[in-house]
């Protein structure tokens, strides 16, 4: 019985840890992102490596502030409907102190420019923002 | 042993109810949609709220029938390749009595206009339509 | 002097007939479309030729009427923002007796689904519809 | 001879004023935009009219400044590759005192997010910005 | 106890076989693709059936080799950001002996043309390619 | 009279040289492209400059030949429906000795993947290819 119980516990723990959280959690999103970026960079393709480095450079402070640039990246990701890109920029905005009201105003621009087709992505963005706020 | 059995049953019920059905089932799709719409609307952004209300208004009977407009919304969602939007309009079409043959003809327009890139979405649309038909 | 006047007249006629009207007129749009389709088909690529024939077949009467299918093709073209495709389907809709009110309702679906990004195309669509109405 | 000369001058003036400038000039862009918006609104479709009014509301000062929102609208238009939308937001940014350096930084975000496919639109945007600067 | 153990084993096997692997594995991807294609074709829509047959024909050897055409289909799927289409063409490329270096160079073209918005899809493509290599 | 005639001739030459050819000709396309690239690069934005240099690097010989990469760039531009990008890659393909049959096969892949929405761009591509062939 002990064995069966142990096995059941292991299964239940496995489900809770690995399956349920896989898609939604912030750390898992970041971990997958990190791990696969390393796989890609280890492919040793010069153009791809330079693009990745250029991508980071793009959001640095300049004539526009880092916050403004992250918001630009966020809205660009929203109208192009890329969930992972939206999550990434939401995470960066959260770190930089952007407020929920500002995120919703940025989302309203994406909604008007991009149309109702953006709504399902707005749902997932709102959910992710809630997770970011709960994390504290 | 009873306990282990009970636990196993709970796990198995949990799997069947919550995991397997999470992504695919009609009620879960609607529930998530409803819940996150409420989260978004509680954000109290005027532009977003007015857009949501305008969105509902768009498909009302007028010079074109509600059925025709739902089909237009469906094909627009198909060529823009938005799975959740497709599901929503499939659900509305089903409620309004659109037949499977009509859905497939609408899909054929989306396929010709939008190309083979639409096929993976057509697979998920066909699966969802089967679920709608089984629901009865 | 007569010669200069004649030449000037010829130039002015040329401008009015060939340049000003080139882009906007219905007949010129159809003529270019027809001519280049022939060039493409003369390229004798089997896949392209079969696609062209399949494209025509798509809008034939079936479980959905030809009018409904043309409206589906129109809205698909609108949200994908293809001016020439929009013009083609507007021309077909006009021939099939679709009213201006119906075109505007179809456009409103495209506007809500596709967002403000559709507006410049809606302007050109409205202009082309006016030309179709003036043609009579 | 006077007549021929006059006619020739008229033609040459006509070419310079109406043809050459038609596509590129700021006033002509605005005039066409204004005129066709009126045609569309006279179509008296409620959803379209409300969308137009909502569109204006979107860029008003709020949790984000009007300038930031115009930049968001600009970059959204850039990655969705809508020349007329880009022109409109460039015009608004210019009126609000956005600098050339800021426009180029916003463009760099659009370029990285949207790829080389944005470059032809960046050319036309750069040309339009030059025209805005010359207008003074 | 035997029963509980058996049940637990069944559950654990079920999880490992059907849930965990559902999304990621090559065989499951192919199985779902195959099954839903059959559902779609059983819908008996002529346009859809002819499109499917035309789709297969497109990648046959001709003036361009099958390998080149699969690479073209891959990059087209990449810039249009269709994960399932990418997986399909990766599978075909793998069968035809395309190397990892070639896949990464094709990906670099998609990245430059399509922008950083392609990166999340590149992560999933790199993961799928690793699975294809492990399969041996 | 001589003056009027001269003026008329100048106008007619102007029309033929500058207006009629502006949009369609190969040299004008390349000239505008070159000139605006210089304007953009003079804006002295580091990210944009590095992207331009990276863009050139992308199509160099490597694990895939330059020809294959230009074809990949061509089809990517086709499904993303960017006329100027298509023209650029058609020009490069022509220089590298790609045949008309190969261009049409590449186009057939773009047509199947991207749908009928690509057809208007295929017309302009076919016209541009004819111009490239006439140039010799």
Closest by CA position to D95, among listed D120, D118, D70: D70
What is this structure's pTM? 0.87
Span A3-26, pLDDT tens digits = 666 666 666 655 554 444 444 579
Chain A residue closest in CA terms to F58: A47
Q: Please give the mean pLDDT across all residues of chain C.
A: 90
Half-sphere exposure of E95 (CA within 13 A, CB side): 9
C73: closest CA of chain A, how far (Å) = 18
Question: Which two structure tokens, joined as six digits, stand for B22?
Answer: 């999470």
Tell me, yes or no, whether B77 lies in a domain: yes
CB contact under 8 A, E48 and B20: no
* DSSP state at residue B61: S
> Where among F53, F75, F95 does a domain terminate?
F53
Alpha helices in chain B (DSSP H): 2-14, 20-24, 26-42, 46-58, 66-79, 83-95, 100-114, 119-135
Chain F residue closest in CA terms to B119: F113
Q: Which of A75-89, E52-66, E118-132, F13-27 has the lowest mean pLDDT?
A: F13-27
**Cα(F105)–Cα(E62) distance, integer angstroms:** 8
Per-residue confidence (pLDDT) for residue F55, from 0 to 100: 98
Per-residue confidence (pLDDT) for residue C68, from 0 to 100: 98
- Name the F residues in 34-73 with CB < 8 Å from any A CB: 46-47, 50-51, 54, 57-58
**Cα(D69)–Cα(A85) distance, integer angstroms:** 20
Q: Does D119 touch chain E (CB under 8 A)?
A: no
B107: closest CA of chain F, how far (Å) = 13
Q: Does C119 touch chain A (CB under 8 A)?
A: no
Span F102-112, pLDDT tens digits = 999 999 999 99
- Among C7, C98, C108, the residue to mutate for chain D (most D Cβ within 10 A): C108
**Cα(A85)–Cα(F64) distance, integer angstroms:** 29
**Cα(D33)–Cα(D53) distance, integer angstroms:** 15
Q: Which residue has tokens 């909604």?
A: A111
Span C41-52, pLDDT tens digits = 999 999 999 999
Report residues of chain B scoring pLDDT below 50: 17-23
| Residues of F in Cβ contact (< 8 Å) with B76 | none
Judge whether E15 and A14 are in contact, CB under 8 Å. yes
Tell me, yes or no, whether B55 lies in a domain: no
Q: What is the CA radius of gyration of chain A?
A: 19
Mean pLDDT of F41-64: 98
In chain D, % of residues over pLDDT 70: 82
Half-sphere exposure of E74 (CA within 13 A, CB side): 32
- Is residue F68 domain-shared with residue F31, that is, in the same domain? no
Q: Does A119 touch chain B (CB under 8 A)?
A: yes
Q: Does D111 touch chain E (CB under 8 A)?
A: yes
Per-residue confidence (pLDDT) for residue D85, from 0 to 100: 98
**Cα(B70)–Cα(C64) distance, integer angstroms:** 13
Per-residue confidence (pLDDT) for residue C25, from 0 to 100: 79
**Cα(D116)–Cα(E20) distance, integer angstroms:** 38
| Residues of E in Cβ contact (< 8 Å) with A7 | 5, 8-9, 12
Per-residue confidence (pLDDT) for residue F24, from 0 to 100: 57
Per-residue confidence (pLDDT) for residue D2, from 0 to 100: 63
- Among B50, B53, B63, the residue to mutate for chain D (most D Cβ within 10 A): B50
Per-residue confidence (pLDDT) for residue F77, from 0 to 100: 98
- Among B115, B119, B120, B122, the residue to mutate for chain F (most F Cβ within 10 A): B115
Span A59-71, pLDDT tens digits = 999 999 999 999 9
Tell me, yes or no, whether E2 lies in a domain: no
User: What is the number of structural domains in chain E?
Assistant: 1
Tell me, yes or no, whether B127 lies in a domain: yes
DSSP track, C51-99: HHHHHHHHTSSSSS-HHHHHHHHHHHHHHTT-HHHHHHHHHHHHHTT--
Per-residue confidence (pLDDT) for residue F68, from 0 to 100: 98
CB contact under 8 A, C63 and B102: yes
Question: Which two structure tokens, joined as six digits, stand for D33?
Answer: 């935009």
Per-residue confidence (pLDDT) for residue B49, from 0 to 100: 98
Between chain A and chain E, the number of residue pairs with CB atoms below 8 A apart is 73
Q: Can you give the residue range of the structural domain that contains C107?
A: 64-134
**Cα(F125)–Cα(A44) distance, integer angstroms:** 35
Per-residue confidence (pLDDT) for residue B105, from 0 to 100: 98
Mean pLDDT of C65-85: 98
Tell me, yes or no, whether B83 lies in a domain: yes
CB contact under 8 A, D85 and A113: yes
Of the candidates B46, B47, B54, which has its C-beta nearest D47's C-beta?
Answer: B54
CB contact under 8 A, E55 and B116: yes
SS3 E17: helix
Tell me, yes or no, whether B37 lies in a domain: no
Mean pLDDT of E62-69: 98
Span D42-75, pLDDT tens digits = 999 999 999 999 999 999 999 999 999 999 999 9
Per-residue confidence (pLDDT) for residue E94, from 0 to 100: 98
Mean pLDDT of E89-118: 98
Q: Does F116 touch chain C (CB under 8 A)?
A: yes
Q: Please give the mean pLDDT across all residues of chain A.
A: 89
Question: Which two structure tokens, joined as six digits, stand for F23?
Answer: 């949009």
**Cα(C69)–Cα(B105) distance, integer angstroms:** 8
| Subunits close to E (at least 3 CB pairs below 8 A) | A, B, C, D, F
pLDDT at F16 over 60: no
Span E12-64, pLDDT tens digits = 655 554 444 444 579 999 999 999 999 999 999 999 999 999 999 999 999 99
Per-residue confidence (pLDDT) for residue E5, from 0 to 100: 64
DSSP track, A35-84: HHHHHHHHT--HHHHHHHHHHHHHTSSSSS-HHHHHHHHHHHHHHTT-HH
Per-residue confidence (pLDDT) for residue E6, from 0 to 100: 66
In chain C, % of residues over pLDDT 90: 79
Of the candidates C8, C19, C104, which has its C-beta nearest D19's C-beta?
Answer: C19
Chain D residue closest in CA terms to A68: D68
Report residues of chain D scoring pLDDT below 70: 1-24
Tell me, yes or no, whether B10 lies in a domain: no
Enter the ipTM.
0.84
In chain F, % of residues over pLDDT 70: 82
Q: Please give the mean pLDDT across all residues of chain E.
A: 90
Would residue F105 be called left, alpha or beta, if left means φ above 0 and alpha means ψ between -120 and 50 degrees?
Answer: alpha
Q: Please give the mean pLDDT across all residues of chain D.
A: 89
**Cα(D95)–Cα(F73) distance, integer angstroms:** 38
Tell me, yes or no, whether F58 lies in a domain: no
What CATH number corresponds to the domain at position D95?
1.20.1290.10
**Cα(F114)–Cα(C2) distance, integer angstroms:** 56
CB contact under 8 A, F108 and C47: yes
């Amino acid at each position: 019985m002990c064995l069966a119980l142990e096995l059941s516990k292991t299964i239940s723990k496995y489900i809770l840890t690995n399956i349920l959280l896989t898609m939604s959690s912030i750390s898992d999103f970041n971990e997958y992102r990190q791990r696969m970026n390393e796989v890609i960079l280890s492919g040793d393709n010069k153009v791809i490596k330079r693009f990745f480095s250029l991508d980071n450079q793009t959001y640095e402070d300049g004539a526009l502030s880092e916050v403004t640039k992250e918001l630009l990246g966020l809205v660009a990701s929203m109208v192009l409907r890329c969930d992972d890109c939206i999550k990434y920029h939401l995470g960066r905005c959260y770190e930089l102190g952007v407020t929920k009201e500002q995120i919703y105003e940025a989302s309203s621009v994406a909604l008007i420019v991009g149309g109702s087709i953006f709504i399902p992505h707005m749902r997932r963005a709102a959910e992710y923002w809630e997770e970011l706020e709960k994390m504290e």
